[in-house]
Structure 1
Amino acid sequence: MAIEVARALPAADVAAVRDLAARVAAADGEAAFDEQSLLNLGGGRPVRHLIVRGGPEGPDGGGPVPILGYAQVADGSGELAVDPAARRRGIGGALLDAVLDGLDGLDGLDTPDGADGLHGPEDVRVWAHGDLAPARALAATRGLGVVRDLWVMTAPAPTVPEPTKVPSQSEPTSAVDGVRVRTFEPGSDEQAWLTVNARAFADHPEQGRMTRADLEARMAQPWFDGRLFWLAEDVNSGRTLGSMWVKISDRVGEIYVLGVDPDAQGRGIGGLLTAHAMAAFAARDLTGLELYVEGENAPAIAVYERAGFHRARAHVQYARTGSH
Protein backbone atom coordinates (compact mmCIF):
# COMPACT_ATOMS: atom_id res chain seq x y z
CA MET A 1 0.00 0.00 0.00
CA ALA A 2 1.45 3.36 -1.05
CA ILE A 3 1.81 5.91 1.73
CA GLU A 4 2.83 9.41 0.74
CA VAL A 5 4.88 11.40 3.22
CA ALA A 6 5.09 15.19 3.24
CA ARG A 7 6.27 17.98 5.48
CA ALA A 8 3.70 20.41 4.07
CA LEU A 9 0.37 20.02 2.30
CA PRO A 10 -1.02 21.96 -0.65
CA ALA A 11 -4.34 23.71 -0.13
CA ALA A 12 -6.26 20.98 -1.96
CA ASP A 13 -4.93 18.30 0.39
CA VAL A 14 -5.63 20.44 3.46
CA ALA A 15 -9.25 20.69 2.32
CA ALA A 16 -9.37 16.96 1.58
CA VAL A 17 -8.07 16.06 5.05
CA ARG A 18 -10.62 18.36 6.66
CA ASP A 19 -13.34 16.67 4.61
CA LEU A 20 -12.03 13.28 5.74
CA ALA A 21 -12.11 14.43 9.35
CA ALA A 22 -15.72 15.56 8.95
CA ARG A 23 -16.78 12.19 7.50
CA VAL A 24 -15.07 10.32 10.30
CA ALA A 25 -16.65 12.51 12.98
CA ALA A 26 -20.10 12.02 11.45
CA ALA A 27 -19.67 8.24 11.34
CA ASP A 28 -18.01 7.74 14.72
CA GLY A 29 -19.58 10.50 16.78
CA GLU A 30 -16.07 11.57 17.77
CA ALA A 31 -13.60 13.99 16.22
CA ALA A 32 -10.83 12.28 14.30
CA PHE A 33 -8.13 14.81 15.16
CA ASP A 34 -7.53 17.27 17.96
CA GLU A 35 -7.42 21.02 17.50
CA GLN A 36 -3.63 21.25 17.23
CA SER A 37 -3.50 18.64 14.47
CA LEU A 38 -6.04 20.57 12.43
CA LEU A 39 -4.10 23.78 12.95
CA ASN A 40 -0.95 21.94 11.86
CA LEU A 41 -2.50 21.28 8.45
CA GLY A 42 -1.77 24.87 7.51
CA GLY A 43 1.85 24.75 8.63
CA GLY A 44 3.64 26.52 11.45
CA ARG A 45 4.94 23.46 13.29
CA PRO A 46 7.35 20.72 12.16
CA VAL A 47 5.11 17.74 11.43
CA ARG A 48 4.91 14.78 9.06
CA HIS A 49 1.78 14.11 7.02
CA LEU A 50 1.06 10.55 5.85
CA ILE A 51 -1.52 10.07 3.12
CA VAL A 52 -3.19 7.07 1.49
CA ARG A 53 -5.05 8.04 -1.67
CA GLY A 54 -7.89 6.30 -3.46
CA GLY A 55 -8.52 5.88 -7.14
CA PRO A 56 -10.55 8.21 -9.35
CA GLU A 57 -13.75 6.81 -7.87
CA GLY A 58 -14.58 6.67 -4.21
CA PRO A 59 -14.86 3.34 -2.36
CA ASP A 60 -18.64 3.49 -2.69
CA GLY A 61 -18.56 4.48 -6.35
CA GLY A 62 -20.09 7.83 -5.45
CA GLY A 63 -17.41 10.16 -6.75
CA PRO A 64 -13.76 11.06 -6.25
CA VAL A 65 -12.27 10.55 -2.81
CA PRO A 66 -8.65 11.69 -3.11
CA ILE A 67 -7.64 10.81 0.46
CA LEU A 68 -8.82 7.57 2.09
CA GLY A 69 -6.48 7.64 5.06
CA TYR A 70 -4.39 10.25 6.83
CA ALA A 71 -1.99 10.30 9.76
CA GLN A 72 0.04 13.06 11.34
CA VAL A 73 3.14 12.82 13.53
CA ALA A 74 4.30 15.76 15.64
CA ASP A 75 6.29 16.00 18.87
CA GLY A 76 6.43 12.23 19.25
CA SER A 77 2.66 11.85 19.03
CA GLY A 78 0.51 10.56 16.19
CA GLU A 79 -3.11 10.57 15.10
CA LEU A 80 -4.74 8.77 12.19
CA ALA A 81 -8.11 8.31 10.51
CA VAL A 82 -9.58 6.23 7.70
CA ASP A 83 -12.57 7.10 5.56
CA PRO A 84 -15.57 5.15 6.94
CA ALA A 85 -16.31 3.75 3.48
CA ALA A 86 -12.72 2.46 3.07
CA ARG A 87 -12.29 0.63 6.36
CA ARG A 88 -11.36 -3.04 6.78
CA ARG A 89 -8.88 -2.77 3.91
CA GLY A 90 -5.75 -2.54 6.04
CA ILE A 91 -5.34 1.22 5.61
CA GLY A 92 -5.52 1.94 9.33
CA GLY A 93 -3.03 -0.79 10.15
CA ALA A 94 -0.61 0.39 7.49
CA LEU A 95 -0.74 3.97 8.73
CA LEU A 96 -0.37 2.86 12.34
CA ASP A 97 2.67 0.74 11.49
CA ALA A 98 4.26 3.65 9.62
CA VAL A 99 3.74 5.94 12.61
CA LEU A 100 5.03 3.41 15.15
CA ASP A 101 8.05 2.41 13.07
CA GLY A 102 9.19 5.98 12.61
CA LEU A 103 8.23 5.85 8.93
CA ASP A 104 11.35 3.82 8.15
CA GLY A 105 11.69 2.96 4.50
CA LEU A 106 9.05 5.35 3.20
CA ASP A 107 9.84 7.77 0.39
CA GLY A 108 10.66 11.38 1.09
CA LEU A 109 12.48 10.94 4.38
CA ASP A 110 15.86 12.57 4.56
CA THR A 111 15.72 13.91 8.11
CA PRO A 112 17.57 12.21 10.99
CA ASP A 113 15.43 10.34 13.50
CA GLY A 114 14.04 12.70 16.11
CA ALA A 115 14.10 15.79 13.89
CA ASP A 116 11.26 17.60 12.17
CA GLY A 117 8.76 16.51 14.83
CA LEU A 118 9.49 12.82 14.25
CA HIS A 119 10.71 10.61 17.06
CA GLY A 120 12.04 7.08 17.04
CA PRO A 121 9.86 3.99 17.30
CA GLU A 122 10.39 3.78 21.06
CA ASP A 123 8.98 7.28 21.54
CA VAL A 124 5.92 7.56 19.31
CA ARG A 125 2.53 7.48 20.99
CA VAL A 126 -0.80 7.35 19.18
CA TRP A 127 -4.06 8.99 20.19
CA ALA A 128 -7.40 7.20 19.96
CA HIS A 129 -10.18 9.73 20.40
CA GLY A 130 -13.22 8.45 22.24
CA ASP A 131 -11.56 5.17 23.20
CA LEU A 132 -13.72 3.36 20.63
CA ALA A 133 -13.77 -0.43 20.30
CA PRO A 134 -12.25 -0.57 16.76
CA ALA A 135 -9.27 1.50 17.93
CA ARG A 136 -8.80 -0.75 20.96
CA ALA A 137 -8.87 -3.81 18.71
CA LEU A 138 -6.30 -2.35 16.30
CA ALA A 139 -4.04 -1.34 19.18
CA ALA A 140 -4.22 -4.87 20.59
CA THR A 141 -3.00 -6.36 17.30
CA ARG A 142 0.16 -4.23 17.60
CA GLY A 143 0.75 -4.96 21.28
CA LEU A 144 0.02 -1.40 22.33
CA GLY A 145 -1.02 -0.38 25.83
CA VAL A 146 -2.71 2.73 27.19
CA VAL A 147 -0.19 5.20 28.61
CA ARG A 148 -2.40 8.25 28.99
CA ASP A 149 -6.04 8.92 29.79
CA LEU A 150 -7.55 12.31 28.90
CA TRP A 151 -10.99 12.81 30.42
CA VAL A 152 -13.82 14.68 28.79
CA MET A 153 -15.98 16.09 31.58
CA THR A 154 -19.41 17.58 30.95
CA ALA A 155 -22.03 19.52 32.90
CA PRO A 156 -25.46 21.00 32.25
CA ALA A 157 -25.41 24.60 31.15
CA PRO A 158 -25.94 26.94 34.13
CA THR A 159 -29.01 29.13 33.80
CA VAL A 160 -28.71 31.64 36.64
CA PRO A 161 -25.61 33.78 37.11
CA GLU A 162 -24.22 33.91 40.64
CA PRO A 163 -22.97 37.51 40.95
CA THR A 164 -22.28 37.17 44.66
CA LYS A 165 -19.60 34.59 43.91
CA VAL A 166 -17.91 36.52 41.11
CA PRO A 167 -16.44 39.94 41.89
CA SER A 168 -16.50 42.79 39.43
CA GLN A 169 -13.41 42.71 37.24
CA SER A 170 -12.79 46.35 38.13
CA GLU A 171 -12.45 45.54 41.83
CA PRO A 172 -8.86 45.27 43.13
CA THR A 173 -9.69 42.39 45.49
CA SER A 174 -11.83 39.29 45.26
CA ALA A 175 -12.89 36.16 47.08
CA VAL A 176 -9.17 35.33 47.23
CA ASP A 177 -7.19 37.82 49.29
CA GLY A 178 -4.66 39.82 47.33
CA VAL A 179 -5.87 38.63 43.94
CA ARG A 180 -7.74 40.46 41.21
CA VAL A 181 -9.21 39.00 38.04
CA ARG A 182 -9.37 40.91 34.77
CA THR A 183 -9.85 40.11 31.10
CA PHE A 184 -6.93 39.35 28.81
CA GLU A 185 -5.76 42.28 26.66
CA PRO A 186 -4.58 41.19 23.18
CA GLY A 187 -1.36 42.91 22.25
CA SER A 188 -0.32 43.36 25.89
CA ASP A 189 -0.80 40.14 27.83
CA GLU A 190 0.55 37.45 25.50
CA GLN A 191 3.91 37.03 27.23
CA ALA A 192 2.40 37.10 30.72
CA TRP A 193 0.00 34.35 29.71
CA LEU A 194 2.69 32.26 28.01
CA THR A 195 4.83 32.48 31.15
CA VAL A 196 2.14 31.37 33.58
CA ASN A 197 0.89 28.73 31.14
CA ALA A 198 4.37 27.23 30.79
CA ARG A 199 4.76 27.12 34.56
CA ALA A 200 1.31 25.69 35.18
CA PHE A 201 1.77 23.00 32.54
CA ALA A 202 5.50 22.36 32.84
CA ASP A 203 4.96 18.59 32.78
CA HIS A 204 2.22 18.60 30.14
CA PRO A 205 3.42 17.31 26.75
CA GLU A 206 1.17 19.59 24.67
CA GLN A 207 -0.12 22.55 26.68
CA GLY A 208 3.24 23.26 28.24
CA ARG A 209 4.81 23.72 24.80
CA MET A 210 2.49 26.48 23.64
CA THR A 211 4.34 29.22 21.75
CA ARG A 212 3.44 32.76 20.81
CA ALA A 213 2.55 31.50 17.33
CA ASP A 214 0.28 28.82 18.84
CA LEU A 215 -1.46 31.42 20.97
CA GLU A 216 -1.94 33.80 18.06
CA ALA A 217 -3.29 31.00 15.85
CA ARG A 218 -5.99 30.29 18.42
CA MET A 219 -6.77 33.97 18.89
CA ALA A 220 -7.34 34.16 15.12
CA GLN A 221 -10.04 31.47 15.23
CA PRO A 222 -13.70 32.49 14.80
CA TRP A 223 -14.58 31.29 18.29
CA PHE A 224 -12.07 33.52 20.10
CA ASP A 225 -13.66 36.10 22.40
CA GLY A 226 -11.34 38.19 24.58
CA ARG A 227 -14.17 38.75 27.05
CA LEU A 228 -13.95 35.06 27.92
CA PHE A 229 -10.23 35.03 28.71
CA TRP A 230 -9.25 36.02 32.26
CA LEU A 231 -6.00 36.55 34.13
CA ALA A 232 -5.67 36.35 37.92
CA GLU A 233 -3.05 38.77 39.20
CA ASP A 234 -1.33 39.58 42.46
CA VAL A 235 -2.73 42.92 43.61
CA ASN A 236 0.60 44.25 44.83
CA SER A 237 3.10 42.99 42.27
CA GLY A 238 0.84 42.62 39.24
CA ARG A 239 2.32 39.17 38.66
CA THR A 240 0.06 36.78 36.75
CA LEU A 241 -0.89 33.87 39.01
CA GLY A 242 -3.31 31.99 36.80
CA SER A 243 -5.63 32.14 33.82
CA MET A 244 -8.96 30.88 32.58
CA TRP A 245 -9.74 30.69 28.87
CA VAL A 246 -13.25 29.85 27.73
CA LYS A 247 -14.36 28.66 24.29
CA ILE A 248 -17.96 28.69 23.05
CA SER A 249 -18.76 26.79 19.86
CA ASP A 250 -22.09 25.43 18.61
CA ARG A 251 -23.74 26.54 21.87
CA VAL A 252 -21.39 24.40 23.94
CA GLY A 253 -19.26 26.19 26.50
CA GLU A 254 -15.79 24.75 27.05
CA ILE A 255 -13.35 25.48 29.83
CA TYR A 256 -10.54 25.62 27.32
CA VAL A 257 -7.49 26.25 29.50
CA LEU A 258 -7.35 26.69 33.27
CA GLY A 259 -3.89 27.04 34.72
CA VAL A 260 -2.47 28.21 38.04
CA ASP A 261 1.17 28.98 38.75
CA PRO A 262 2.59 26.22 41.02
CA ASP A 263 3.68 28.86 43.55
CA ALA A 264 0.08 30.11 43.81
CA GLN A 265 -1.69 26.77 44.08
CA GLY A 266 -3.73 26.06 47.18
CA ARG A 267 -5.07 29.63 47.43
CA GLY A 268 -8.39 28.99 45.70
CA ILE A 269 -7.42 30.71 42.44
CA GLY A 270 -8.62 27.81 40.31
CA GLY A 271 -12.03 27.93 41.96
CA LEU A 272 -12.19 31.71 41.61
CA LEU A 273 -11.46 31.56 37.89
CA THR A 274 -13.93 28.71 37.42
CA ALA A 275 -16.60 30.87 39.06
CA HIS A 276 -15.95 33.58 36.46
CA ALA A 277 -16.32 31.03 33.68
CA MET A 278 -19.54 29.59 35.10
CA ALA A 279 -21.06 33.05 35.43
CA ALA A 280 -20.16 33.83 31.82
CA PHE A 281 -21.70 30.55 30.70
CA ALA A 282 -24.90 31.30 32.62
CA ALA A 283 -25.27 34.59 30.77
CA ARG A 284 -25.40 32.78 27.41
CA ASP A 285 -27.89 30.41 25.81
CA LEU A 286 -25.90 27.17 25.92
CA THR A 287 -26.88 23.53 25.60
CA GLY A 288 -24.10 22.21 27.84
CA LEU A 289 -20.55 22.52 29.11
CA GLU A 290 -17.40 20.46 28.62
CA LEU A 291 -13.72 20.41 29.41
CA TYR A 292 -10.66 18.20 29.04
CA VAL A 293 -8.46 17.16 31.93
CA GLU A 294 -5.78 14.54 32.51
CA GLY A 295 -7.26 11.53 34.28
CA GLU A 296 -4.48 11.62 36.88
CA ASN A 297 -4.92 15.32 37.72
CA ALA A 298 -6.88 14.82 40.92
CA PRO A 299 -6.73 18.45 42.15
CA ALA A 300 -8.17 19.83 38.89
CA ILE A 301 -10.82 17.10 38.74
CA ALA A 302 -11.90 18.00 42.27
CA VAL A 303 -12.32 21.67 41.27
CA TYR A 304 -14.42 20.68 38.26
CA GLU A 305 -16.53 18.20 40.17
CA ARG A 306 -17.38 20.90 42.70
CA ALA A 307 -18.52 23.02 39.74
CA GLY A 308 -20.89 20.25 38.62
CA PHE A 309 -18.82 18.44 35.99
CA HIS A 310 -18.61 14.66 35.66
CA ARG A 311 -16.58 12.29 33.49
CA ALA A 312 -18.43 11.58 30.23
CA ARG A 313 -15.83 9.81 28.08
CA ALA A 314 -12.09 9.71 27.47
CA HIS A 315 -9.41 9.93 24.85
CA VAL A 316 -6.51 7.54 25.30
CA GLN A 317 -2.95 7.44 24.09
CA TYR A 318 -1.29 4.17 23.16
CA ALA A 319 2.36 3.18 23.04
CA ARG A 320 4.37 0.02 22.72
CA THR A 321 4.85 -1.86 25.98
CA GLY A 322 7.79 -0.46 27.90
CA SER A 323 7.90 2.84 25.92
CA HIS A 324 6.64 5.14 28.68
Structure 2
Amino acid sequence: MEQSQTVEQLFEQGRAAHTSGDFSKAEQILSEVLSLDPSFVRAYVGRGLTRTQLSDSPGAIEDFTQAIQRNPDIANAYYHRGFARADLGDNQGAIEDYTQFIKLKPDFARTYFARACARGELGDKQGAIEDYTQAIQLNPEDADAYVNRGASRADLGDRQGAIEDYAQAVYLKPDFEVAYYNRGNSHDELGNEQGAIEDYTQAIKLKSDFVEAYRNRGLTYARSGNEQRAIEDFTQAIYLKPEDASTYYNRGLAHSELDDKQRALEDYQVAKEIYLSEGRMADYQDVLDRLEELESS
Protein backbone atom coordinates (compact mmCIF):
# COMPACT_ATOMS: atom_id res chain seq x y z
CA MET A 1 0.00 0.00 0.00
CA GLU A 2 2.84 2.34 0.84
CA GLN A 3 4.51 1.77 -2.55
CA SER A 4 1.18 2.29 -4.32
CA GLN A 5 0.77 5.63 -2.60
CA THR A 6 4.33 6.60 -3.56
CA VAL A 7 3.72 5.70 -7.21
CA GLU A 8 0.48 7.66 -7.31
CA GLN A 9 2.16 10.66 -5.69
CA LEU A 10 5.01 10.49 -8.21
CA PHE A 11 2.48 10.29 -11.03
CA GLU A 12 0.77 13.45 -9.78
CA GLN A 13 4.15 15.18 -9.63
CA GLY A 14 4.77 14.16 -13.23
CA ARG A 15 1.39 15.52 -14.27
CA ALA A 16 2.09 18.77 -12.47
CA ALA A 17 5.45 19.12 -14.24
CA HIS A 18 3.75 18.51 -17.60
CA THR A 19 1.04 21.06 -16.84
CA SER A 20 3.67 23.66 -15.88
CA GLY A 21 5.52 23.07 -19.16
CA ASP A 22 8.58 21.34 -17.67
CA PHE A 23 8.38 18.41 -20.06
CA SER A 24 11.87 17.04 -19.44
CA LYS A 25 11.16 16.82 -15.72
CA ALA A 26 7.76 15.27 -16.40
CA GLU A 27 9.33 12.59 -18.61
CA GLN A 28 11.91 11.81 -15.93
CA ILE A 29 9.29 11.47 -13.18
CA LEU A 30 6.89 9.38 -15.29
CA SER A 31 9.74 7.09 -16.29
CA GLU A 32 10.45 6.57 -12.60
CA VAL A 33 6.77 5.77 -12.05
CA LEU A 34 6.91 3.11 -14.77
CA SER A 35 10.09 1.62 -13.37
CA LEU A 36 8.25 1.13 -10.09
CA ASP A 37 5.01 -0.06 -11.69
CA PRO A 38 5.28 -1.16 -15.37
CA SER A 39 1.50 -1.75 -15.48
CA PHE A 40 0.55 1.89 -14.73
CA VAL A 41 -1.48 2.66 -17.87
CA ARG A 42 -2.05 6.36 -17.14
CA ALA A 43 1.69 6.86 -16.76
CA TYR A 44 2.29 5.46 -20.27
CA VAL A 45 -0.32 7.86 -21.66
CA GLY A 46 1.11 10.75 -19.65
CA ARG A 47 4.66 10.06 -20.77
CA GLY A 48 3.45 9.68 -24.35
CA LEU A 49 1.87 13.13 -24.17
CA THR A 50 5.06 14.52 -22.65
CA ARG A 51 7.21 12.94 -25.34
CA THR A 52 4.91 14.46 -27.95
CA GLN A 53 5.67 17.88 -26.47
CA LEU A 54 9.38 17.02 -26.64
CA SER A 55 9.00 16.21 -30.38
CA ASP A 56 9.76 12.55 -29.69
CA SER A 57 7.00 11.02 -31.80
CA PRO A 58 8.55 7.51 -31.93
CA GLY A 59 8.84 7.46 -28.14
CA ALA A 60 5.27 8.74 -27.82
CA ILE A 61 3.98 6.02 -30.14
CA GLU A 62 5.77 3.39 -28.07
CA ASP A 63 4.16 4.68 -24.89
CA PHE A 64 0.66 4.91 -26.34
CA THR A 65 1.07 1.38 -27.72
CA GLN A 66 2.07 0.10 -24.28
CA ALA A 67 -1.05 1.72 -22.82
CA ILE A 68 -3.28 0.17 -25.50
CA GLN A 69 -1.78 -3.29 -24.99
CA ARG A 70 -2.67 -3.06 -21.29
CA ASN A 71 -6.09 -1.48 -21.85
CA PRO A 72 -7.50 -1.76 -25.40
CA ASP A 73 -10.42 0.52 -24.50
CA ILE A 74 -8.34 3.55 -23.55
CA ALA A 75 -9.60 5.90 -26.23
CA ASN A 76 -7.19 8.80 -25.70
CA ALA A 77 -4.19 6.59 -26.40
CA TYR A 78 -5.53 5.85 -29.90
CA TYR A 79 -6.27 9.52 -30.47
CA HIS A 80 -2.82 10.76 -29.49
CA ARG A 81 -1.01 7.88 -31.18
CA GLY A 82 -2.84 8.86 -34.35
CA PHE A 83 -1.40 12.37 -34.13
CA ALA A 84 2.09 11.02 -33.47
CA ARG A 85 1.83 8.68 -36.45
CA ALA A 86 0.62 11.52 -38.68
CA ASP A 87 3.56 13.61 -37.49
CA LEU A 88 5.87 10.88 -38.82
CA GLY A 89 4.01 10.70 -42.13
CA ASP A 90 2.20 7.44 -41.33
CA ASN A 91 -1.22 8.69 -42.37
CA GLN A 92 -2.65 5.21 -42.86
CA GLY A 93 -1.67 4.27 -39.32
CA ALA A 94 -3.14 7.55 -38.09
CA ILE A 95 -6.44 6.81 -39.85
CA GLU A 96 -6.60 3.39 -38.17
CA ASP A 97 -6.06 4.95 -34.76
CA TYR A 98 -8.61 7.71 -35.31
CA THR A 99 -11.11 5.11 -36.52
CA GLN A 100 -10.60 3.06 -33.38
CA PHE A 101 -11.07 6.17 -31.24
CA ILE A 102 -14.31 6.97 -33.11
CA LYS A 103 -15.61 3.48 -32.35
CA LEU A 104 -15.06 4.18 -28.66
CA LYS A 105 -16.11 7.85 -28.70
CA PRO A 106 -18.18 8.62 -31.81
CA ASP A 107 -19.18 12.18 -30.88
CA PHE A 108 -15.79 13.92 -30.75
CA ALA A 109 -15.60 16.33 -33.68
CA ARG A 110 -11.82 16.85 -33.70
CA THR A 111 -11.17 13.17 -34.40
CA TYR A 112 -13.21 13.32 -37.61
CA PHE A 113 -11.29 16.50 -38.49
CA ALA A 114 -7.96 14.77 -37.86
CA ARG A 115 -8.97 11.70 -39.86
CA ALA A 116 -10.12 13.94 -42.70
CA CYS A 117 -6.68 15.59 -42.78
CA ALA A 118 -4.98 12.19 -42.94
CA ARG A 119 -7.32 11.01 -45.69
CA GLY A 120 -6.64 14.17 -47.65
CA GLU A 121 -2.89 13.60 -47.35
CA LEU A 122 -3.41 10.14 -48.90
CA GLY A 123 -5.44 11.60 -51.77
CA ASP A 124 -8.82 10.38 -50.52
CA LYS A 125 -10.58 13.70 -51.02
CA GLN A 126 -14.08 12.23 -50.94
CA GLY A 127 -13.35 10.44 -47.68
CA ALA A 128 -11.94 13.70 -46.31
CA ILE A 129 -15.12 15.55 -47.30
CA GLU A 130 -17.25 12.96 -45.50
CA ASP A 131 -15.20 13.34 -42.32
CA TYR A 132 -15.18 17.15 -42.46
CA THR A 133 -18.95 17.01 -42.91
CA GLN A 134 -19.28 14.84 -39.81
CA ALA A 135 -17.00 17.20 -37.88
CA ILE A 136 -19.20 20.15 -38.96
CA GLN A 137 -22.37 18.34 -37.91
CA LEU A 138 -20.87 17.82 -34.45
CA ASN A 139 -19.40 21.33 -34.29
CA PRO A 140 -21.10 23.75 -36.72
CA GLU A 141 -18.89 26.63 -35.52
CA ASP A 142 -15.63 25.09 -36.77
CA ALA A 143 -14.38 27.50 -39.44
CA ASP A 144 -11.29 25.35 -40.08
CA ALA A 145 -13.46 22.39 -41.03
CA TYR A 146 -15.35 24.51 -43.58
CA VAL A 147 -12.10 25.77 -45.10
CA ASN A 148 -10.61 22.30 -45.34
CA ARG A 149 -13.79 20.81 -46.77
CA GLY A 150 -13.83 23.65 -49.28
CA ALA A 151 -10.27 22.83 -50.30
CA SER A 152 -11.16 19.16 -50.77
CA ARG A 153 -14.20 20.10 -52.82
CA ALA A 154 -12.05 22.39 -54.97
CA ASP A 155 -9.58 19.55 -55.51
CA LEU A 156 -12.46 17.44 -56.85
CA GLY A 157 -13.56 20.26 -59.17
CA ASP A 158 -16.56 21.42 -57.12
CA ARG A 159 -15.61 25.12 -57.15
CA GLN A 160 -19.08 26.35 -56.28
CA GLY A 161 -19.31 24.02 -53.31
CA ALA A 162 -15.88 25.21 -52.24
CA ILE A 163 -16.97 28.85 -52.45
CA GLU A 164 -19.98 28.09 -50.25
CA ASP A 165 -17.74 26.50 -47.63
CA TYR A 166 -15.26 29.40 -47.68
CA ALA A 167 -18.17 31.83 -47.33
CA GLN A 168 -19.35 30.01 -44.23
CA ALA A 169 -15.81 30.05 -42.85
CA VAL A 170 -15.50 33.83 -43.18
CA TYR A 171 -18.99 34.25 -41.71
CA LEU A 172 -17.82 32.34 -38.63
CA LYS A 173 -14.35 33.90 -38.59
CA PRO A 174 -14.26 37.24 -40.46
CA ASP A 175 -10.48 37.60 -40.09
CA PHE A 176 -9.72 34.21 -41.67
CA GLU A 177 -7.33 35.30 -44.43
CA VAL A 178 -6.81 31.79 -45.83
CA ALA A 179 -10.56 31.43 -46.42
CA TYR A 180 -10.60 34.64 -48.48
CA TYR A 181 -7.50 33.53 -50.38
CA ASN A 182 -8.92 30.09 -51.15
CA ARG A 183 -12.25 31.58 -52.20
CA GLY A 184 -10.35 33.96 -54.45
CA ASN A 185 -8.71 30.99 -56.13
CA SER A 186 -12.07 29.31 -56.70
CA HIS A 187 -13.59 32.52 -58.07
CA ASP A 188 -10.62 32.86 -60.41
CA GLU A 189 -10.95 29.29 -61.64
CA LEU A 190 -14.64 29.95 -62.39
CA GLY A 191 -13.69 33.06 -64.39
CA ASN A 192 -14.99 35.54 -61.81
CA GLU A 193 -11.96 37.84 -61.92
CA GLN A 194 -13.57 40.66 -59.94
CA GLY A 195 -14.65 38.31 -57.17
CA ALA A 196 -11.15 36.83 -57.08
CA ILE A 197 -9.50 40.25 -56.84
CA GLU A 198 -11.83 41.31 -54.03
CA ASP A 199 -11.03 38.18 -52.02
CA TYR A 200 -7.28 38.43 -52.59
CA THR A 201 -7.46 42.07 -51.52
CA GLN A 202 -9.27 41.15 -48.32
CA ALA A 203 -6.70 38.43 -47.60
CA ILE A 204 -3.90 40.98 -48.02
CA LYS A 205 -5.64 43.45 -45.72
CA LEU A 206 -5.71 40.77 -43.05
CA LYS A 207 -2.17 39.53 -43.70
CA SER A 208 0.06 42.17 -45.25
CA ASP A 209 2.89 39.71 -46.05
CA PHE A 210 0.64 37.18 -47.81
CA VAL A 211 2.94 36.47 -50.75
CA GLU A 212 0.63 34.05 -52.53
CA ALA A 213 -2.26 36.51 -52.41
CA TYR A 214 -0.15 39.24 -54.04
CA ARG A 215 1.10 36.80 -56.66
CA ASN A 216 -2.34 35.41 -57.52
CA ARG A 217 -3.95 38.84 -57.54
CA GLY A 218 -1.20 39.91 -59.91
CA LEU A 219 -1.95 36.99 -62.20
CA THR A 220 -5.66 37.83 -62.15
CA TYR A 221 -4.95 41.48 -62.93
CA ALA A 222 -2.72 40.38 -65.82
CA ARG A 223 -5.42 38.10 -67.25
CA SER A 224 -7.94 40.94 -67.01
CA GLY A 225 -5.62 43.24 -68.97
CA ASN A 226 -4.49 45.44 -66.08
CA GLU A 227 -0.74 44.89 -66.45
CA GLN A 228 0.24 47.90 -64.36
CA ARG A 229 -1.62 46.64 -61.30
CA ALA A 230 -0.20 43.19 -62.00
CA ILE A 231 3.34 44.60 -61.97
CA GLU A 232 2.69 46.32 -58.65
CA ASP A 233 1.53 43.05 -57.09
CA PHE A 234 4.40 41.03 -58.56
CA THR A 235 6.84 43.64 -57.25
CA GLN A 236 5.43 43.31 -53.74
CA ALA A 237 5.54 39.52 -53.98
CA ILE A 238 9.19 39.70 -55.05
CA TYR A 239 9.97 42.01 -52.13
CA LEU A 240 8.49 39.44 -49.77
CA LYS A 241 9.94 36.39 -51.54
CA PRO A 242 12.86 37.40 -53.77
CA GLU A 243 13.83 33.82 -54.64
CA ASP A 244 10.59 33.03 -56.52
CA ALA A 245 11.57 32.76 -60.17
CA SER A 246 8.00 32.48 -61.46
CA THR A 247 7.10 35.92 -60.11
CA TYR A 248 10.02 37.53 -61.95
CA TYR A 249 8.90 35.64 -65.05
CA ASN A 250 5.30 36.83 -64.73
CA ARG A 251 6.40 40.40 -64.09
CA GLY A 252 8.55 40.12 -67.20
CA LEU A 253 5.48 39.06 -69.18
CA ALA A 254 3.55 42.07 -67.87
CA HIS A 255 6.39 44.45 -68.74
CA SER A 256 6.53 42.91 -72.20
CA GLU A 257 2.80 43.48 -72.68
CA LEU A 258 3.41 47.15 -71.86
CA ASP A 259 6.29 47.21 -74.40
CA ASP A 260 8.81 47.89 -71.62
CA LYS A 261 11.50 45.75 -73.22
CA GLN A 262 14.33 46.64 -70.85
CA ARG A 263 12.47 45.79 -67.66
CA ALA A 264 11.10 42.61 -69.24
CA LEU A 265 14.66 41.54 -70.15
CA GLU A 266 15.86 42.22 -66.62
CA ASP A 267 13.11 40.11 -65.07
CA TYR A 268 13.60 37.25 -67.52
CA GLN A 269 17.33 37.24 -66.78
CA VAL A 270 16.70 36.89 -63.03
CA ALA A 271 14.12 34.17 -63.62
CA LYS A 272 16.55 32.35 -65.92
CA GLU A 273 19.30 32.26 -63.28
CA ILE A 274 16.97 31.02 -60.54
CA TYR A 275 15.43 28.35 -62.75
CA LEU A 276 18.91 27.13 -63.68
CA SER A 277 20.08 27.05 -60.05
CA GLU A 278 16.99 25.03 -59.09
CA GLY A 279 17.38 22.60 -61.97
CA ARG A 280 14.01 23.51 -63.46
CA MET A 281 15.14 22.94 -67.02
CA ALA A 282 11.76 23.12 -68.76
CA ASP A 283 11.12 26.55 -67.18
CA TYR A 284 14.71 27.54 -67.95
CA GLN A 285 14.20 26.71 -71.62
CA ASP A 286 10.91 28.59 -71.68
CA VAL A 287 12.49 31.78 -70.38
CA LEU A 288 15.38 31.38 -72.84
CA ASP A 289 12.81 31.31 -75.64
CA ARG A 290 11.20 34.46 -74.21
CA LEU A 291 14.55 36.21 -74.08
CA GLU A 292 15.41 35.24 -77.63
CA GLU A 293 12.01 36.42 -78.86
CA LEU A 294 12.31 39.71 -76.99
CA GLU A 295 15.89 40.40 -78.06
CA SER A 296 15.05 39.79 -81.71
CA SER A 297 12.02 42.06 -81.67
TM-score by length of 2: 0.30
TM-score by length of 1: 0.28
Greater helix share, structure number: 2
Rg larger in structure: 2
Greater strand share, structure number: 1
